[in-house]
Amino acid sequence: MRELLRHAASPGTSSSQEGVPALTVEDVTVRFAGLTALDCVGFTVAPGSVHALIGPNGAGKSSCFNVLSGVYRAASGSVRFGEAELTALPPHRIAALGVARTFQNIVLTRGTVADNLLLGRQTLTRAGFTATALRLPSAVREQRLHRERVREIADFTGLGALFDAPVALLSYGDRKRVELARALCMEPRLLLLDEPVAGMNTAERLGMARTIAHIRDALGVSVLIVEHDMGMVMRMADEVTVLDFGRRIGGGSPEAVQRDPAVVRAYLGGGPSSATIPAPDGPDTEQAP
């Protein structure tokens, strides 16, 4: 039963990067008919770091997440999480290795916050259908432990007061937070967050940035984040990889990336979908802890 609580007996305890391997992406190519969505892309997410994957619309960021989580199959290249090669694995096997993700668009089920978070425990549940249906003592005890852990994670992610609230009644920002919490309920070693603050107001974005930094600092979990809010990215990322038209055009520290002429060109000269890289002291860039 101890494995139920692997990685962190209690969120908020001291940082631990033990057992968190590096994610190494090498020469990954993804094609759709005539389109090359990713072209020999490579980068490494260091254990316990926040690594940002940025680029204009259509650059290939979500496609990359889909490869890392087993939704898309790479035409070539390699993705290693520690010793494990992920490119040939189905999504549930990748999840079982400790890779959890959120989606660009909110994907929640009906029911309460607790119901959604308990879904995140499915891969960790040992009791079979019959034992659960018959309410055998072992199954009841396991369910209780899952519920306690889910409650801890709700508190950790600022959802404690909303634990029994129907998700349909939550604000957009809180629903995005439920997605993050549900991914955390899988006890991941690597979290893939696809635009976690998109559509949020400034206060919600700040709160989310704080939670993500706290996940890295308190739990030692690696975070790979796709985000268009450049202020937030530049403040919180330890390292940045930049994609444009499926290619890696830059990477390094946030400071180095902001000064890289190829990156600036991609954002300033990429046509209608491009965006500027604002200075990190803009209105949306309040300091994340």
Is the distance from CB of 22 to CB of 237 less than 8 angstroms? no
Residue 121 binds: one of Mg ion, ligand ATP, none (C-beta under 5 to 8 A by kind): none
The reply on whether position 285 binds ligand ATP by CB under 6 A is: no
102 belongs to the binding site for ligand ATP (CB under 6 A): no
Stretch near Mg ion under the rule CB under 5 A, chosen from 13-21, 96-104, 185-193, 272-280: 96-104
* By the rule CB under 5 A, 102 interacts with Mg ion: no
Pattern of binders to ligand ATP over 217-236, x per CB under 6 A? --------------------
Considering the complex, state which of residue 35 and residue 262 has its C-beta at the smaller distance from ligand ATP. 35
Name 206's bridge partners: none
Q: Which of 49, 62, 112, 285 binds ligand ATP (CB under 6 A)?
A: 62
Of 17 and 274, which has the nearer Cβ to ligand ATP? 274
Q: Is 280 in the site for ligand ATP (CB under 6 A)?
A: no
Q: By CB under 6 A, is residue 29 in contact with ligand ATP?
A: no
Residue 60 sits in the site that holds ligand ATP (CB under 6 A): yes
- Please, what sign has the CA dihedral across residues 157, 64, 252, 231? negative
Point out which residues bind Mg ion (CB under 5 A).
Answer: 61-62, 104
